[in-house]
Amino acid sequence: MSSEIRLLSSGSPNPIASLTSKRWNSLRHILERPGPFCKADFTASAENLEALQNGLKILVIGAGGLGCELLKDLAMMGFGNLHVIDMDTIELSNLNRQFLFRRKDLGLSKAECAARFINERVSTTRVTPHFAKIQDFDERFYSQFHIIVCGLDSIVARRWINGMLISMLDYNDDGSVDPSTIIPLIDGGTEGFKGNARVILPGFTSCIECTLDLFPPQVTYPLCTIANTPRLPEHCIEYVKIIQWDKENPFNVPLDGDDPQHVAWVYERSLERANQFNISGITYRLVQGVIKNIIPAVASTNAIIAAACATEVFKLATSCYDSMNNYMNFNDIDGIYTYTYPPEKIETCLACSNTPQDLNVDDPNTTTLDDLIKILCDSQRFQLKSPGLTTIISGKNKTLYMSSVKNIEEQTRANLTMSLAELGLYDGATIMVSDINMPTTITLILKYHPNEVEMK
């Protein structure tokens, strides 16, 4: 087995695993024979297959279009101990590509239904479901797995699990990462006919945070356009979603993109508005996509990206071949195109640099705390959602602002309009920032321009 992967106790062997079945002959050709492309620590042995079935524990995050393919691929590649996390329930629109579900499963947990299907179909695999958010689990839970593979549609979730795995690293006296604490992260993503797969070795390769600018920005529409001069069907849908729903409040509850009645109401009102401005192209599916900010999924893309991810899991688990180095782009809009390259590890990465980062500020006398929070939310580097800020003044911890706790928010709200100078935040002051995008706190050092550091 690869030295990069921590071997934990395997627990009791799978009682129904049949290692002598002919179904594993193709795997034996790889695992029981040496070859010119095997890594140095690979040893051809019949025990390799047994380790896949009984010695490794793999976590799949997400049981949607990509997650269903991943579970199927990993089960058919001999992995016997799988876990899957997903917080969603099954909708009718899922059934065209998420093939582990049936109409009778509508409204049920994706994780539980996917696990049940695989367990019933592949006797050599045991899938344990977790109907929950990834944020519901702590370090002790994630430390039990040898490899984690993601089939997520959320950048926030990717950043969170990336930060969690980095926070679990231990470092040697010379500052190097202890290899035994590394849990490889295999990440896959799809967007229509495009997709990507990547291998992340926390602490060694570039991480999710290092390449945050690779993710496309969320599409937004100016409010003046959707309210006064709509030109696209999306403008009409956004108008109903943002303005008309709150104004009319048809069901006395917030808009729910998973509720067919809500979607139907938005669809009908969007059609009416589109007709007023002679705009065509409003469809029920488009309305769903705009409400939930999703891009239509393509089953073949999911299958290709999942196969690439599962192959990387297999290579890392067995050392039968070098893992991908380390980011693969896939595009089959005009023919099939793939490109693999190693993104650079950013020395100032917020997640994996393991050092406080500088935050440049123009003028502490005119920059308010609210301005600082907007920088953290709007900048391409940080992309935070609702940061909470604390600092140390005169040796004592001080909460500058925290929106997530009501009474603390009320107590610190007045700080928002105060300048950094008025708050006593000098040049070189340390600010600790927490956010739902990250499982751990990041540390920032305020840096003022030399000619603007005079405190009033």
Catalytic residues: 224
Q: What burial letters (b/e) apply to 17-49, b meaning 16+ CB within 10 Å?
A: bebeeeebeebbebbeeeeeebeeebeeeeebb
Alpha carbon distance 223, 238 (integer Å): 9
Separation in Å, CA 351 to CA 94, 100, 206, 334 = 34, 35, 10, 36
Do residues 417 and 372 lie in contact, with contact meaning Cβ atoms separated by under 8 Å? no
One-letter amino acid at 179 equals P
Do residues 274 and 236 lie in contact, with contact meaning Cβ atoms separated by under 8 Å? yes
Alpha carbon distance 421, 372 (integer Å): 12
Beta strands in 92-134 (DSSP E): 126-130
Q: What is the rounded radius of gyration, in angstroms, for the C-alpha atoms of the chain?
A: 25
- Helix (H), strand (E) at residue 171: none
Helix, strand or coil for residue 198? Answer: strand
Antiparallel, parallel or unpaired: β 396-401 and 388-393: antiparallel
Do residues 76 and 124 lie in contact, with contact meaning Cβ atoms separated by under 8 Å? no
Residues 6+ apart with CB under 8 A from 15: none
Q: What is the DSSP string of 188-214?
A: EEEETTEEEEEEE-TTTS--TTTTGGG
> Hey, which residues does 389 pair with through a beta bridge?
401, 433
Do residues 430 and 395 lie in contact, with contact meaning Cβ atoms separated by under 8 Å? no
Separation in Å, CA 17 to CA 51, 75, 116, 123 = 12, 12, 17, 7
Alpha carbon distance 329, 337 (integer Å): 8
Residue 134 sits at the vertex; the CA angle it makes with 129 and 135, to the nearest 5 degrees, is: 140
Do residues 329 and 196 lie in contact, with contact meaning Cβ atoms separated by under 8 Å? yes
Alpha carbon distance 179, 367 (integer Å): 43
Alpha carbon distance 359, 372 (integer Å): 10
